[in-house]
Amino acid sequence: MLRSFGVREENKKPMPKTAVRRKSNEPTVRFVPLGGLEEIGANMMFFEYEDEIVVIDAGLLFPGDSTPGVDYIIPNTQYLQENKDKVKALIITHAHYDHIGAIPHIIDKIGNPTIYCTSLSKALIEKRQEDYPALGKLKFVVIKNRDEVQLSPNIKALFFGVSHTIPESAGVVLQTPIGNLLNMGDYKVEYDEQGNPQGLEELEEISRMGIHSFFTDSTNADRDGRQVTEKMVEANLEKIFREAKGRIIVGSFASVITRIAEIIKIAEKIGRYVFLSGYSMKSNVQIAQNLGFIKAKSGTIVPIEELHKYKDDKVLILSTGAQGESNASFMKIINGEHRNIQVKPGDTVLFSASVIPGNERAVQTLKDNFARQGAIIYSSDIVDIHSSGHAMREDIKLVISTIKPKFLVPVHGYYYKRFINAQNAREVGVKNTPLMDNGQVAELTKDNFVITQETVPATYVFVDGLGVGDVEEVVLRDRISLSQEGMVLVVAAVDRQNGKLLKNPEIITRGFIYVRDNQEMLEEMKKRVKSVFSRFSNYRELESDYVKGIIRDTIGQYLFNKTRRRPMILTVLIEL
Protein backbone atom coordinates (compact mmCIF):
# COMPACT_ATOMS: atom_id res chain seq x y z
CA MET A 1 0.00 0.00 0.00
CA LEU A 2 2.86 2.36 0.73
CA ARG A 3 5.13 3.52 -2.03
CA SER A 4 8.42 5.34 -2.09
CA PHE A 5 8.87 8.19 -4.52
CA GLY A 6 11.48 10.24 -5.84
CA VAL A 7 -14.24 36.99 -5.57
CA ARG A 8 -17.34 37.34 -3.90
CA GLU A 9 -18.47 34.11 -2.35
CA GLU A 10 -21.96 32.72 -1.92
CA ASN A 11 -23.69 34.14 1.17
CA LYS A 12 -20.46 35.76 2.25
CA LYS A 13 -20.61 37.31 5.70
CA PRO A 14 -18.01 39.51 7.36
CA MET A 15 -15.92 37.64 9.87
CA PRO A 16 -13.46 38.98 12.42
CA LYS A 17 -9.81 38.19 11.84
CA THR A 18 -9.48 36.95 15.41
CA ALA A 19 -12.06 34.23 15.93
CA VAL A 20 -13.46 33.39 19.36
CA ARG A 21 -11.36 30.64 20.97
CA ARG A 22 -12.11 28.29 23.81
CA LYS A 23 -10.05 29.42 26.78
CA SER A 24 -7.44 26.84 27.63
CA ASN A 25 -4.05 26.82 29.29
CA GLU A 26 -2.90 23.75 27.36
CA PRO A 27 -1.69 23.74 23.73
CA THR A 28 -4.60 23.61 21.26
CA VAL A 29 -4.65 22.87 17.53
CA ARG A 30 -7.73 23.90 15.59
CA PHE A 31 -8.86 21.64 12.75
CA VAL A 32 -11.23 22.99 10.06
CA PRO A 33 -12.43 21.13 6.94
CA LEU A 34 -13.32 23.55 4.14
CA GLY A 35 -14.40 20.94 1.59
CA GLY A 36 -14.70 17.22 0.95
CA LEU A 37 -16.83 16.32 3.97
CA GLU A 38 -20.26 16.66 2.35
CA GLU A 39 -19.34 15.70 -1.22
CA ILE A 40 -16.89 13.71 -3.34
CA GLY A 41 -14.37 16.38 -4.31
CA ALA A 42 -13.29 19.92 -3.30
CA ASN A 43 -10.98 18.41 -0.69
CA MET A 44 -9.40 21.03 1.54
CA MET A 45 -8.66 21.32 5.26
CA PHE A 46 -6.38 23.29 7.55
CA PHE A 47 -4.75 23.04 10.97
CA GLU A 48 -4.11 26.13 13.06
CA TYR A 49 -1.82 26.50 16.06
CA GLU A 50 -1.51 30.01 17.48
CA ASP A 51 -0.29 32.11 14.52
CA GLU A 52 0.54 29.17 12.25
CA ILE A 53 -1.81 27.62 9.66
CA VAL A 54 -1.00 24.58 7.53
CA VAL A 55 -3.40 23.75 4.69
CA ILE A 56 -3.76 20.29 3.13
CA ASP A 57 -5.00 20.09 -0.48
CA ALA A 58 -7.11 22.54 -2.49
CA GLY A 59 -9.38 20.64 -4.85
CA LEU A 60 -12.40 21.27 -7.03
CA LEU A 61 -15.80 19.62 -7.32
CA PHE A 62 -17.49 19.04 -10.65
CA PRO A 63 -21.05 20.41 -10.91
CA GLY A 64 -24.26 18.41 -10.73
CA ASP A 65 -27.88 18.86 -11.75
CA SER A 66 -28.38 21.50 -9.04
CA THR A 67 -25.63 23.75 -10.44
CA PRO A 68 -26.48 24.24 -14.14
CA GLY A 69 -23.98 26.17 -16.23
CA VAL A 70 -21.28 26.10 -13.56
CA ASP A 71 -17.85 24.87 -14.68
CA TYR A 72 -16.83 23.62 -11.26
CA ILE A 73 -16.98 24.39 -7.56
CA ILE A 74 -14.13 25.28 -5.19
CA PRO A 75 -13.90 25.58 -1.41
CA ASN A 76 -14.64 28.82 0.39
CA THR A 77 -11.35 30.27 1.64
CA GLN A 78 -12.70 33.41 3.30
CA TYR A 79 -11.21 32.55 6.70
CA LEU A 80 -7.79 31.83 5.18
CA GLN A 81 -7.92 35.06 3.18
CA GLU A 82 -8.59 37.05 6.33
CA ASN A 83 -5.73 35.24 8.09
CA LYS A 84 -3.35 34.88 5.15
CA ASP A 85 -0.41 36.20 7.16
CA LYS A 86 -0.69 33.02 9.27
CA VAL A 87 -0.77 30.56 6.34
CA LYS A 88 2.68 28.95 6.29
CA ALA A 89 2.26 25.99 3.95
CA LEU A 90 -0.02 24.25 1.44
CA ILE A 91 0.59 20.49 1.37
CA ILE A 92 -0.58 18.56 -1.71
CA THR A 93 -1.09 14.82 -1.20
CA HIS A 94 -1.43 14.05 -4.92
CA ALA A 95 -2.23 15.71 -8.24
CA HIS A 96 -5.83 14.73 -8.94
CA TYR A 97 -8.11 17.69 -9.59
CA ASP A 98 -10.22 17.02 -6.51
CA HIS A 99 -7.04 17.85 -4.57
CA ILE A 100 -5.30 20.51 -6.73
CA GLY A 101 -8.01 22.02 -8.97
CA ALA A 102 -8.70 25.10 -6.83
CA ILE A 103 -5.06 26.22 -6.56
CA PRO A 104 -5.13 28.83 -9.38
CA HIS A 105 -8.22 30.45 -7.87
CA ILE A 106 -7.16 30.58 -4.22
CA ILE A 107 -3.37 30.61 -3.95
CA ASP A 108 -2.87 34.39 -4.31
CA LYS A 109 -5.82 35.13 -2.04
CA ILE A 110 -4.38 33.10 0.85
CA GLY A 111 -0.95 34.74 0.62
CA ASN A 112 0.80 32.52 -1.95
CA PRO A 113 2.20 30.09 0.65
CA THR A 114 4.90 27.57 -0.23
CA ILE A 115 3.47 24.42 -1.80
CA TYR A 116 4.96 21.16 -0.49
CA CYS A 117 4.47 18.31 -2.96
CA THR A 118 6.21 15.62 -5.00
CA SER A 119 7.85 16.21 -8.39
CA LEU A 120 4.90 14.88 -10.39
CA SER A 121 2.39 16.96 -8.46
CA LYS A 122 4.58 20.03 -9.01
CA ALA A 123 4.71 19.42 -12.77
CA LEU A 124 0.93 18.94 -13.09
CA ILE A 125 0.18 21.99 -10.93
CA GLU A 126 2.53 24.10 -13.04
CA LYS A 127 0.91 22.81 -16.24
CA ARG A 128 -2.53 23.85 -14.98
CA GLN A 129 -1.12 27.20 -13.87
CA GLU A 130 -0.18 27.95 -17.51
CA ASP A 131 -3.89 28.57 -18.14
CA TYR A 132 -3.71 31.52 -15.72
CA PRO A 133 -0.74 33.63 -16.93
CA ALA A 134 -1.75 36.68 -14.87
CA LEU A 135 -1.10 34.89 -11.59
CA GLY A 136 2.14 35.21 -9.68
CA LYS A 137 4.89 32.59 -9.65
CA LEU A 138 4.23 29.66 -7.35
CA LYS A 139 6.69 28.69 -4.62
CA PHE A 140 7.46 24.97 -4.30
CA VAL A 141 9.40 22.66 -2.05
CA VAL A 142 9.65 19.22 -3.67
CA ILE A 143 9.42 16.48 -1.07
CA LYS A 144 10.55 12.86 -1.21
CA ASN A 145 9.77 9.71 0.71
CA ARG A 146 10.60 9.98 4.45
CA ASP A 147 11.43 13.69 4.21
CA GLU A 148 10.94 15.66 7.43
CA VAL A 149 10.26 19.35 6.89
CA GLN A 150 9.81 22.17 9.41
CA LEU A 151 6.74 23.96 8.05
CA SER A 152 6.51 26.58 10.79
CA PRO A 153 8.02 27.17 14.24
CA ASN A 154 5.74 24.61 15.92
CA ILE A 155 4.64 22.27 13.10
CA LYS A 156 6.86 19.71 11.39
CA ALA A 157 5.79 17.31 8.58
CA LEU A 158 6.92 13.76 7.87
CA PHE A 159 6.09 12.65 4.31
CA PHE A 160 5.75 9.07 3.11
CA GLY A 161 4.43 7.33 0.00
CA VAL A 162 0.99 5.74 -0.37
CA SER A 163 -0.56 3.67 -3.14
CA HIS A 164 -3.13 5.39 -5.35
CA THR A 165 -3.89 5.61 -9.07
CA ILE A 166 -1.29 8.31 -9.66
CA PRO A 167 2.43 7.94 -8.88
CA GLU A 168 4.03 9.78 -5.99
CA SER A 169 0.90 10.02 -3.88
CA ALA A 170 1.90 11.12 -0.40
CA GLY A 171 0.70 10.79 3.15
CA VAL A 172 1.79 13.22 5.84
CA VAL A 173 2.21 13.15 9.61
CA LEU A 174 1.95 16.64 11.10
CA GLN A 175 4.00 16.76 14.29
CA THR A 176 2.36 19.40 16.48
CA PRO A 177 2.51 20.46 20.16
CA ILE A 178 -0.60 18.35 20.90
CA GLY A 179 0.51 15.21 19.07
CA ASN A 180 0.88 13.61 15.65
CA LEU A 181 -1.90 14.16 13.10
CA LEU A 182 -2.05 11.76 10.15
CA ASN A 183 -3.54 12.43 6.69
CA MET A 184 -2.97 9.81 3.97
CA GLY A 185 -4.86 11.64 1.21
CA ASP A 186 -6.47 9.05 -1.08
CA TYR A 187 -5.03 5.58 -0.66
CA LYS A 188 -5.62 1.89 -1.25
CA VAL A 189 -4.05 -1.35 -0.05
CA GLU A 190 -2.06 -3.41 -2.54
CA TYR A 191 -1.76 -7.20 -2.18
CA ASP A 192 0.76 -9.65 -3.59
CA GLU A 193 -0.21 -12.73 -5.61
CA GLN A 194 -0.68 -14.71 -2.38
CA GLY A 195 -3.09 -12.11 -1.03
CA ASN A 196 -0.71 -10.60 1.53
CA PRO A 197 -1.06 -6.83 2.13
CA GLN A 198 1.95 -4.77 1.12
CA GLY A 199 3.58 -1.86 2.92
CA LEU A 200 2.28 -2.45 6.44
CA GLU A 201 5.78 -2.20 7.91
CA GLU A 202 5.90 1.55 7.32
CA LEU A 203 2.41 1.99 8.78
CA GLU A 204 3.53 0.07 11.85
CA GLU A 205 6.50 2.43 12.15
CA ILE A 206 4.14 5.41 11.92
CA SER A 207 1.91 3.81 14.53
CA ARG A 208 4.87 3.57 16.92
CA MET A 209 5.21 7.36 16.68
CA GLY A 210 1.80 7.58 18.37
CA ILE A 211 -1.05 9.04 16.28
CA HIS A 212 -3.42 11.46 17.96
CA SER A 213 -5.88 11.75 15.04
CA PHE A 214 -6.11 9.92 11.73
CA PHE A 215 -8.03 11.77 8.99
CA THR A 216 -8.98 8.98 6.60
CA ASP A 217 -10.54 8.71 3.13
CA SER A 218 -14.19 7.52 3.20
CA THR A 219 -14.94 7.29 -0.55
CA ASN A 220 -15.36 3.50 -0.53
CA ALA A 221 -15.97 3.00 3.19
CA ASP A 222 -19.43 1.54 2.50
CA ARG A 223 -18.21 -1.02 -0.05
CA ASP A 224 -17.63 -4.46 1.41
CA GLY A 225 -14.50 -6.49 0.79
CA ARG A 226 -11.12 -5.52 -0.56
CA GLN A 227 -10.01 -3.62 -3.62
CA VAL A 228 -9.17 -5.49 -6.82
CA THR A 229 -5.41 -5.61 -7.28
CA GLU A 230 -3.71 -3.82 -10.15
CA LYS A 231 -2.13 -7.16 -11.15
CA MET A 232 -5.58 -8.62 -11.74
CA VAL A 233 -6.69 -5.54 -13.67
CA GLU A 234 -3.57 -5.72 -15.80
CA ALA A 235 -4.16 -9.41 -16.56
CA ASN A 236 -7.81 -8.80 -17.54
CA LEU A 237 -6.90 -5.85 -19.77
CA GLU A 238 -4.25 -7.90 -21.57
CA LYS A 239 -6.72 -10.76 -22.14
CA ILE A 240 -9.33 -8.40 -23.64
CA PHE A 241 -6.72 -6.62 -25.76
CA ARG A 242 -5.41 -9.88 -27.18
CA GLU A 243 -8.92 -11.06 -28.10
CA ALA A 244 -9.90 -7.77 -29.78
CA LYS A 245 -10.07 -8.07 -33.58
CA GLY A 246 -10.46 -4.40 -34.43
CA ARG A 247 -9.44 -1.14 -32.79
CA ILE A 248 -9.30 -0.77 -29.02
CA ILE A 249 -10.61 2.46 -27.47
CA VAL A 250 -10.00 2.92 -23.73
CA GLY A 251 -11.77 5.66 -21.79
CA SER A 252 -10.06 6.75 -18.60
CA PHE A 253 -9.18 9.74 -16.45
CA ALA A 254 -6.14 11.52 -17.81
CA SER A 255 -4.79 11.73 -14.26
CA VAL A 256 -4.82 7.94 -13.66
CA ILE A 257 -1.21 7.79 -14.77
CA THR A 258 -0.43 4.43 -13.16
CA ARG A 259 -3.17 2.75 -15.22
CA ILE A 260 -2.21 4.60 -18.39
CA ALA A 261 1.38 3.40 -17.99
CA GLU A 262 0.13 -0.19 -17.62
CA ILE A 263 -2.01 0.08 -20.75
CA ILE A 264 0.87 1.47 -22.81
CA LYS A 265 3.09 -1.38 -21.58
CA ILE A 266 0.47 -3.98 -22.62
CA ALA A 267 0.06 -2.31 -26.02
CA GLU A 268 3.78 -2.67 -26.65
CA LYS A 269 3.64 -6.29 -25.52
CA ILE A 270 0.93 -7.23 -28.05
CA GLY A 271 2.20 -5.07 -30.90
CA ARG A 272 -0.28 -2.20 -30.92
CA TYR A 273 0.43 1.50 -31.36
CA VAL A 274 -0.99 4.01 -28.88
CA PHE A 275 -2.92 7.12 -29.94
CA LEU A 276 -3.83 9.77 -27.37
CA SER A 277 -7.13 11.64 -27.66
CA GLY A 278 -7.88 14.62 -25.44
CA TYR A 279 -5.75 17.60 -24.45
CA SER A 280 -5.31 16.56 -20.81
CA MET A 281 -4.44 12.99 -21.83
CA LYS A 282 -1.66 14.23 -24.13
CA SER A 283 -0.35 16.73 -21.55
CA ASN A 284 -0.29 14.30 -18.64
CA VAL A 285 1.34 11.50 -20.62
CA GLN A 286 4.04 13.91 -21.82
CA ILE A 287 4.72 15.09 -18.26
CA ALA A 288 4.81 11.51 -16.98
CA GLN A 289 7.25 10.57 -19.75
CA ASN A 290 9.50 13.51 -18.95
CA LEU A 291 9.65 12.45 -15.29
CA GLY A 292 10.13 8.77 -16.09
CA PHE A 293 6.79 7.44 -14.85
CA ILE A 294 5.83 6.27 -18.35
CA LYS A 295 8.61 4.52 -20.23
CA ALA A 296 7.24 4.05 -23.74
CA LYS A 297 9.53 2.84 -26.50
CA SER A 298 10.26 5.19 -29.37
CA GLY A 299 7.43 5.00 -31.91
CA THR A 300 4.86 3.42 -29.55
CA ILE A 301 2.90 6.65 -29.08
CA VAL A 302 1.78 8.03 -32.44
CA PRO A 303 0.06 11.39 -33.15
CA ILE A 304 -3.71 10.97 -33.48
CA GLU A 305 -3.58 12.70 -36.88
CA GLU A 306 -1.77 9.63 -38.27
CA LEU A 307 -4.44 7.16 -37.12
CA HIS A 308 -5.65 6.51 -40.68
CA LYS A 309 -2.23 5.11 -41.65
CA TYR A 310 -2.51 2.09 -39.33
CA LYS A 311 -4.52 -1.14 -39.57
CA ASP A 312 -7.34 -1.47 -37.06
CA ASP A 313 -5.76 -4.47 -35.32
CA LYS A 314 -2.66 -2.38 -34.59
CA VAL A 315 -4.51 0.54 -32.97
CA LEU A 316 -5.11 1.33 -29.28
CA ILE A 317 -6.67 4.71 -28.48
CA LEU A 318 -6.46 6.24 -24.99
CA SER A 319 -9.23 8.79 -24.56
CA THR A 320 -10.60 11.17 -21.97
CA GLY A 321 -14.31 11.49 -21.24
CA ALA A 322 -15.30 8.17 -19.65
CA GLN A 323 -17.59 10.15 -17.28
CA GLY A 324 -19.73 11.44 -20.15
CA GLU A 325 -18.34 14.99 -20.06
CA SER A 326 -19.96 16.93 -22.89
CA ASN A 327 -16.75 18.46 -24.27
CA ALA A 328 -14.44 15.48 -23.77
CA SER A 329 -13.07 13.19 -26.44
CA PHE A 330 -15.39 10.21 -25.83
CA MET A 331 -18.49 12.35 -26.40
CA LYS A 332 -17.04 13.82 -29.59
CA ILE A 333 -16.30 10.33 -30.87
CA ILE A 334 -19.82 8.97 -30.42
CA ASN A 335 -21.39 12.16 -31.81
CA GLY A 336 -19.27 11.99 -34.96
CA GLU A 337 -17.61 15.31 -34.10
CA HIS A 338 -14.06 14.00 -33.63
CA ARG A 339 -11.68 14.97 -36.41
CA ASN A 340 -9.82 11.69 -36.48
CA ILE A 341 -11.95 9.00 -34.81
CA GLN A 342 -15.35 7.62 -35.80
CA VAL A 343 -16.83 4.50 -34.23
CA LYS A 344 -16.63 1.37 -36.39
CA PRO A 345 -18.61 -1.84 -35.88
CA GLY A 346 -16.31 -4.24 -34.06
CA ASP A 347 -14.39 -1.58 -32.13
CA THR A 348 -13.66 -2.74 -28.58
CA VAL A 349 -14.48 0.05 -26.10
CA LEU A 350 -13.40 -0.14 -22.45
CA PHE A 351 -14.57 2.10 -19.60
CA SER A 352 -11.55 1.86 -17.28
CA ALA A 353 -12.77 4.28 -14.62
CA SER A 354 -15.11 4.39 -11.65
CA VAL A 355 -18.34 6.25 -12.26
CA ILE A 356 -18.34 9.42 -10.17
CA PRO A 357 -21.63 9.68 -8.21
CA GLY A 358 -24.02 11.83 -10.24
CA ASN A 359 -22.54 10.82 -13.62
CA GLU A 360 -24.42 7.53 -13.93
CA ARG A 361 -26.88 8.78 -16.55
CA ALA A 362 -24.20 10.40 -18.70
CA VAL A 363 -22.07 7.23 -18.64
CA GLN A 364 -25.08 5.10 -19.53
CA THR A 365 -25.78 7.36 -22.50
CA LEU A 366 -22.20 6.87 -23.66
CA LYS A 367 -22.54 3.09 -23.46
CA ASP A 368 -25.88 3.17 -25.30
CA ASN A 369 -24.47 5.22 -28.14
CA PHE A 370 -21.35 3.09 -28.52
CA ALA A 371 -23.57 -0.02 -28.58
CA ARG A 372 -25.88 1.48 -31.23
CA GLN A 373 -22.85 2.05 -33.44
CA GLY A 374 -21.72 -1.57 -33.17
CA ALA A 375 -18.95 -1.37 -30.57
CA ILE A 376 -18.11 -4.19 -28.15
CA ILE A 377 -18.23 -2.68 -24.66
CA TYR A 378 -16.47 -3.63 -21.44
CA SER A 379 -16.80 -1.90 -18.08
CA SER A 380 -15.78 -2.71 -14.51
CA ASP A 381 -19.27 -4.00 -13.65
CA ILE A 382 -18.78 -6.76 -16.26
CA VAL A 383 -15.11 -7.64 -15.71
CA ASP A 384 -12.41 -6.29 -13.39
CA ILE A 385 -10.74 -3.75 -15.69
CA HIS A 386 -10.58 -0.99 -13.11
CA SER A 387 -9.30 -0.85 -9.56
CA SER A 388 -10.39 2.16 -7.58
CA GLY A 389 -7.71 4.21 -5.90
CA HIS A 390 -9.76 4.30 -2.71
CA ALA A 391 -9.57 1.63 -0.01
CA MET A 392 -12.68 -0.45 0.63
CA ARG A 393 -14.13 -1.40 4.01
CA GLU A 394 -11.81 -4.30 4.91
CA ASP A 395 -8.77 -2.39 3.65
CA ILE A 396 -9.70 0.65 5.75
CA LYS A 397 -10.16 -1.54 8.84
CA LEU A 398 -6.72 -3.05 8.25
CA VAL A 399 -5.12 0.39 8.03
CA ILE A 400 -6.94 1.73 11.09
CA SER A 401 -6.08 -1.33 13.19
CA THR A 402 -2.43 -0.95 12.15
CA ILE A 403 -2.25 2.79 12.89
CA LYS A 404 -4.17 2.57 16.21
CA PRO A 405 -5.05 6.29 16.41
CA LYS A 406 -6.56 7.88 19.48
CA PHE A 407 -9.18 9.59 17.27
CA LEU A 408 -10.42 8.52 13.83
CA VAL A 409 -11.89 11.37 11.74
CA PRO A 410 -13.63 10.24 8.53
CA VAL A 411 -13.10 12.68 5.64
CA HIS A 412 -13.51 12.67 1.84
CA GLY A 413 -17.13 11.62 1.32
CA TYR A 414 -20.83 12.15 1.89
CA TYR A 415 -22.07 12.01 5.48
CA TYR A 416 -23.37 8.45 5.07
CA LYS A 417 -20.00 7.19 3.86
CA ARG A 418 -18.25 8.92 6.74
CA PHE A 419 -20.82 7.52 9.17
CA ILE A 420 -20.05 4.01 7.91
CA ASN A 421 -16.32 4.72 8.21
CA ALA A 422 -16.81 5.67 11.84
CA GLN A 423 -18.48 2.28 12.32
CA ASN A 424 -15.53 0.62 10.60
CA ALA A 425 -13.19 2.24 13.13
CA ARG A 426 -15.29 1.18 16.11
CA GLU A 427 -15.32 -2.41 14.83
CA VAL A 428 -11.52 -2.51 15.13
CA GLY A 429 -11.41 -0.91 18.55
CA VAL A 430 -11.15 2.85 17.90
CA LYS A 431 -14.01 4.31 19.93
CA ASN A 432 -13.47 8.04 19.34
CA THR A 433 -14.81 8.82 15.85
CA PRO A 434 -15.93 12.47 15.61
CA LEU A 435 -18.06 13.30 12.56
CA MET A 436 -17.79 16.86 11.26
CA ASP A 437 -19.19 18.95 8.42
CA ASN A 438 -17.49 21.53 6.23
CA GLY A 439 -16.85 24.74 8.13
CA GLN A 440 -17.05 23.29 11.63
CA VAL A 441 -14.17 23.99 13.99
CA ALA A 442 -12.65 21.32 16.20
CA GLU A 443 -10.18 22.02 18.98
CA LEU A 444 -7.60 19.33 19.59
CA THR A 445 -5.66 19.06 22.83
CA LYS A 446 -3.35 16.29 23.99
CA ASP A 447 -6.20 14.00 25.10
CA ASN A 448 -9.30 15.55 23.54
CA PHE A 449 -10.99 16.27 20.22
CA VAL A 450 -13.82 18.76 20.77
CA ILE A 451 -16.17 19.97 18.00
CA THR A 452 -16.98 23.56 18.99
CA GLN A 453 -19.98 25.74 18.20
CA GLU A 454 -17.78 27.97 16.07
CA THR A 455 -17.95 27.77 12.27
CA VAL A 456 -16.11 29.41 9.39
CA PRO A 457 -17.62 30.16 5.95
CA ALA A 458 -17.74 26.96 3.91
CA THR A 459 -20.49 27.56 1.36
CA TYR A 460 -19.63 26.69 -2.22
CA VAL A 461 -17.78 29.10 -4.50
CA PHE A 462 -18.81 28.64 -8.12
CA VAL A 463 -16.44 29.04 -11.06
CA ASP A 464 -18.39 29.95 -14.19
CA GLY A 465 -16.32 30.98 -17.21
CA LEU A 466 -14.00 33.78 -16.10
CA GLY A 467 -16.07 34.50 -13.01
CA VAL A 468 -15.10 33.11 -9.61
CA GLY A 469 -17.69 33.50 -6.88
CA ASP A 470 -19.96 35.82 -8.88
CA VAL A 471 -22.60 33.12 -9.45
CA GLU A 472 -24.69 32.92 -6.32
CA GLU A 473 -27.70 30.87 -5.20
CA VAL A 474 -30.19 33.27 -6.76
CA VAL A 475 -28.53 32.84 -10.17
CA LEU A 476 -28.65 29.05 -9.88
CA ARG A 477 -32.31 29.19 -8.86
CA ASP A 478 -33.07 31.23 -11.97
CA ARG A 479 -31.19 28.73 -14.16
CA ILE A 480 -33.02 25.79 -12.63
CA SER A 481 -36.36 27.59 -12.99
CA LEU A 482 -35.66 28.31 -16.65
CA SER A 483 -34.70 24.70 -17.32
CA GLN A 484 -37.78 23.32 -15.57
CA GLU A 485 -40.55 25.83 -16.30
CA GLY A 486 -39.38 27.98 -19.21
CA MET A 487 -39.80 31.72 -19.69
CA VAL A 488 -42.49 34.20 -20.75
CA LEU A 489 -41.46 37.67 -21.95
CA VAL A 490 -44.08 40.46 -22.01
CA VAL A 491 -43.18 43.50 -24.13
CA ALA A 492 -45.42 46.57 -23.98
CA ALA A 493 -45.01 49.96 -25.73
CA VAL A 494 -46.74 52.66 -23.69
CA ASP A 495 -47.35 56.42 -23.94
CA ARG A 496 -45.40 57.92 -21.05
CA GLN A 497 -47.90 60.83 -20.73
CA ASN A 498 -51.19 58.98 -20.38
CA GLY A 499 -50.18 55.35 -19.82
CA LYS A 500 -52.08 54.06 -22.84
CA LEU A 501 -50.73 51.17 -24.86
CA LEU A 502 -49.49 52.29 -28.26
CA LYS A 503 -49.85 48.82 -29.77
CA ASN A 504 -50.88 45.32 -28.86
CA PRO A 505 -48.57 43.78 -26.20
CA GLU A 506 -46.14 41.18 -27.53
CA ILE A 507 -45.79 37.82 -25.76
CA ILE A 508 -42.66 35.70 -26.34
CA THR A 509 -42.20 32.29 -24.75
CA ARG A 510 -39.24 29.92 -24.56
CA GLY A 511 -39.39 26.41 -23.11
CA PHE A 512 -42.94 26.92 -21.78
CA ILE A 513 -45.60 26.19 -24.43
CA TYR A 514 -45.71 25.41 -28.13
CA VAL A 515 -46.96 28.75 -29.44
CA ARG A 516 -48.72 27.43 -32.53
CA ASP A 517 -50.99 25.20 -30.45
CA ASN A 518 -51.70 27.78 -27.74
CA GLN A 519 -52.87 30.92 -29.54
CA GLU A 520 -55.90 31.21 -27.28
CA MET A 521 -53.66 31.36 -24.19
CA LEU A 522 -51.47 34.02 -25.79
CA GLU A 523 -54.48 36.18 -26.64
CA GLU A 524 -55.77 35.87 -23.09
CA MET A 525 -52.40 37.01 -21.74
CA LYS A 526 -52.51 40.06 -24.02
CA LYS A 527 -56.01 40.93 -22.76
CA ARG A 528 -54.87 40.74 -19.18
CA VAL A 529 -51.89 43.02 -19.88
CA LYS A 530 -54.29 45.55 -21.44
CA SER A 531 -56.55 45.32 -18.41
CA VAL A 532 -53.64 46.15 -16.13
CA PHE A 533 -52.97 49.43 -17.97
CA SER A 534 -56.66 50.32 -17.96
CA ARG A 535 -56.52 50.49 -14.14
CA PHE A 536 -54.01 53.35 -14.00
CA SER A 537 -55.64 56.78 -13.99
CA ASN A 538 -52.36 58.68 -13.50
CA TYR A 539 -49.59 56.64 -15.07
CA ARG A 540 -46.94 59.37 -14.80
CA GLU A 541 -46.94 59.13 -11.01
CA LEU A 542 -46.21 55.38 -11.08
CA GLU A 543 -42.81 53.75 -10.97
CA SER A 544 -42.17 51.50 -13.95
CA ASP A 545 -40.97 48.72 -11.60
CA TYR A 546 -44.35 48.82 -9.87
CA VAL A 547 -46.18 48.44 -13.19
CA LYS A 548 -43.88 45.56 -14.20
CA GLY A 549 -44.61 43.84 -10.88
CA ILE A 550 -48.38 44.10 -11.41
CA ILE A 551 -48.08 42.63 -14.92
CA ARG A 552 -45.81 39.84 -13.67
CA ASP A 553 -48.19 38.89 -10.86
CA THR A 554 -51.26 39.05 -13.11
CA ILE A 555 -49.78 36.87 -15.86
CA GLY A 556 -48.12 34.54 -13.35
CA GLN A 557 -51.40 33.85 -11.53
CA TYR A 558 -53.25 33.28 -14.80
CA LEU A 559 -50.62 30.84 -16.11
CA PHE A 560 -50.51 28.90 -12.84
CA ASN A 561 -54.30 28.55 -12.77
CA LYS A 562 -54.27 27.45 -16.40
CA THR A 563 -51.23 25.12 -16.45
CA ARG A 564 -50.15 24.57 -12.81
CA ARG A 565 -46.69 25.75 -13.90
CA ARG A 566 -44.67 28.79 -12.89
CA PRO A 567 -42.48 29.99 -15.78
CA MET A 568 -40.09 32.86 -15.25
CA ILE A 569 -41.91 36.03 -16.31
CA LEU A 570 -39.94 39.01 -17.58
CA THR A 571 -41.57 42.35 -18.40
CA VAL A 572 -40.19 45.04 -20.72
CA LEU A 573 -41.86 48.47 -20.83
CA ILE A 574 -40.97 50.73 -23.74
CA GLU A 575 -42.06 54.29 -22.87
CA LEU A 576 -42.47 56.58 -25.87
End-to-end Cα separation, the chain, in angstroms = 75
CA dist 31 and 179 (Å) reads 13
- Of residues 57, 217, 347, 464, which has the active-site annotation? 217
β-pair partners for 89: 54, 114
For residue 263, the one-letter residue type is I
Q: Quick check: helix, strand or coil at residue 421?
A: helix
Alpha-carbon separation of residue 181 from 215, 289, 553 (angstroms): 8, 34, 58
- For residue 96, indicate whether it is catalytic: no
Catalytic pick among 212, 386, 390, 412: 390
Amino acid at 111: G
Backbone angles phi, psi at 492, to 5 degrees: -135, 130
Contacts of 269 (CB under 8 A, 6+ apart): 238
3-state SS record for 307-348:
HHHCCHHHEEEEECCCCCCCCCHHHHHHCCCCCCCCCCCCCE
Which residue type, as a one-letter code, is found at position 390? H
Contact criterion met (CB below 8 Å) for 136 and 103: no
Beta-bridged to residue 508, according to DSSP, are 489
Contacts 24+ apart (CB under 8 A), 190-194: 190/1, 190/163, 190/229, 190/230, 191/226, 191/229, 193/231
Check: CB of residue 95 under 8 Å from CB of residue 288: no
> Is 217 noted as a catalytic residue in this protein?
yes
- Count other C-beta atoms under 10 Å from residue 523's C-beta: 12
Active site residue ranges: 217, 390
